Amino acid sequence: MQLEKISIAPMLDWTDKNYRYFMRLISKHTTLYTEMIVADAIIHGERDKLLSFDNSEQHLVLQLGGSNPEKLAKAALIAKDYGYTEFNLNCGCPSEKVQVGNFGASLMQEPQLVADCLNAIRETTNLPATIKHRIGIDKEDNYAFVTNFVQYISENTKNTKFIVHARNAILQGLSPKQNREIPPLKYDYVYQLKKDFPHLEIIINGGIKTSTEIDNHLNNVDGAMLGREAYYNPYLFANFDKHYFNDNNSLSKTRLQIATEMIPYLEKILQHGGKLHYATRHMIGLYHGCKNAKLWRQTLTTKLTQSNSLHEYKNLLNQMMTENI
C-alpha cells in the first residue's frame, strides 16, 4: 500500500458520499474515509444506501464499527463487492452508544479481540484491515498503554497502519464533543510511536488545522489525518495535490470552479427525487474566510433548502462571480 500522507477522518453524518464527491473535486489524492458503519447495519440494512459510492471517490476506505469478528468479516465481504479495497476498524469513538455495543475506544481494553477482528476481516477479504484508535482510555493515559496496544496489534496481525488520535478517550462523563476538546493533545506520544516502531505507518490525528501544522507533523510521522477542519474549511485542501503528492499537473481550482463542477452532481440528485441540501449542506464552508462567506452560507442553508431549485443555486454562483470571490 502507498503511504497515506493526507487523509480526511471518518465523521458521522458528515463524510457521506455527497461530501466525499465534493471533496474529490478539491483534491484528487487525499485519502477519503466513510462514516463509521456498524457491521450489523451492512448485514441487515439497506446496503446500496450505506455502501454505494462514485468511482471518483477512490481511494476510499470503509470504516467499520463492531467487535464481533465473524460479523465484521461478513460485512467487509459484502462491502468488497461494492468496490471497497481497504477497511478500517473504529477503536477511537468514545460515545456511550458504541460502548453499549462494546466497540469504538472501549475496544482498546481488549487488544486480543481487536486482533481477532482485524485478522477476520483480512483473511475473509484478502484486503488490508487497519485501525484508528486513541492514545489511551480514561485514566490509562501513560505512554506505556498505547505502546503496548500498538505492539500487540502489530505482532498479532498483518496490519502495519495505525491512525492515532492524540487524545485520551474518556468513556464516562464526557460527550463525544467534549472528548474532542477537553483531553489534552499529546502529539509527542504519536511521534514516539514512530520512533519505537519505525517499520509501521503512523498517521496522526486530532486538532490539526493548517498546512504549517501538517508540515511539522510530517517531520515526525508518516501521515496526517484532518477531521473537522476538513469539513469547516474544505478549500484548505486546494493545493494539497501539488504540495503533498507532487502532482505538478494538478491546478488549484477556484472556489467558483469547484461550485460550478458540482452542478451535474446536483442535477443527478434532483433526477432521483432527492434534495439539493443532501449535498449543499456539506459545501457551506467552501467560502470560509472570504468576504461574502455569509451570503454563500445563508443562501445554501435557507433559500436553497426551501426552494430545492438548481436555478437558485446558479443564481448564487452568478452573485459570487460578480463579487469576484
Give which of 311, 323, 317, 259 is closest to 285, Cα–Cα.
259
- Residues 135 and 174 sit within 8 Å (Cβ to Cβ): no
91 tagged catalytic: no
Name the catalytic one among 91, 93, 117, 290: 93
- Residues 255 and 272 sit within 8 Å (Cβ to Cβ): no
Q: Cα–Cα distance between 153 and 155 in angstroms, integer?
A: 5
Q: Which residues contact 137 (CB under 8 A, 6 or more apart)?
A: 94, 105, 106, 108, 109, 145, 168, 169, 170, 171
Q: Which residues contact 306 (CB under 8 A, 6 or more apart)?
A: none
Residue 133: which H helix or E strand, with range? strand 129-137
- Residues 222 and 202 sit within 8 Å (Cβ to Cβ): yes
Give which of 84, 140, 131, 139 is closest to 104, Cα–Cα.
131
- Residues 140 and 186 sit within 8 Å (Cβ to Cβ): no
Residue 220: which H helix or E strand, with range? none
- Residues 33 and 9 sit within 8 Å (Cβ to Cβ): yes
- Give the three-class secondary structure for 19: helix
- The full DSSP string for 36-92 is PEEHHHHHHS-HHHHH---GGG-SEEEEEE-S-HHHHHHHHHHHHTTT---EEEEE-
Q: Cα–Cα distance between 85 and 100 in angstroms, integer?
A: 29
Q: Which are the catalytic amino acids?
A: 93
